[in-house]
Amino acid sequence: MISAEITIIPIGTKSTSLSSYVAAAVAALDKKGVKYQLSGMGTQLEANSPQELFEAVQAAHEAVFAQGADRVSTSIKIDDRRDRDRTLDDKVASVEKKL
């Protein structure tokens, strides 16, 4: 299991509201079938392979252009652990257990 956090920022938009661009990116993730958790500052993804992850990120990135952005900045933070199969929920539960 590979997980990542992405932040996609549309640039060159006519409004300061970005929710329609975020919605387009999330719709693209839905089509790719990867598990994701949307937050107010980014989106966390889970995929079965690096290829699946990168294809999902590319689809979300391109969807923001298709929504009308003139420029798109995408940041990706990846956690690729191969000794154990851990989900995003597992990682949160591990920290909460220690609190």
Per-residue pLDDT tens listing for the chain (99 residues): 899 999 999 998 888 899 999 999 999 999 999 999 999 999 999 999 999 999 999 999 999 999 999 999 999 999 998 898 889 999 999 999 999
The interaxial angle of helices 19-32 and 50-66, nearest 10 deg, is 140
List phi, psi (to 5°) of 67. -80, -10
Tell me how many degrees the CA angle 73-77-80 measures, rounded to the nearest 5.
145
pTM of the shown model: 0.90
CB atoms within 10 A of CB 43: 19
In the chain, the domains with their CATH numbers are 2-98 (3.30.70.930)
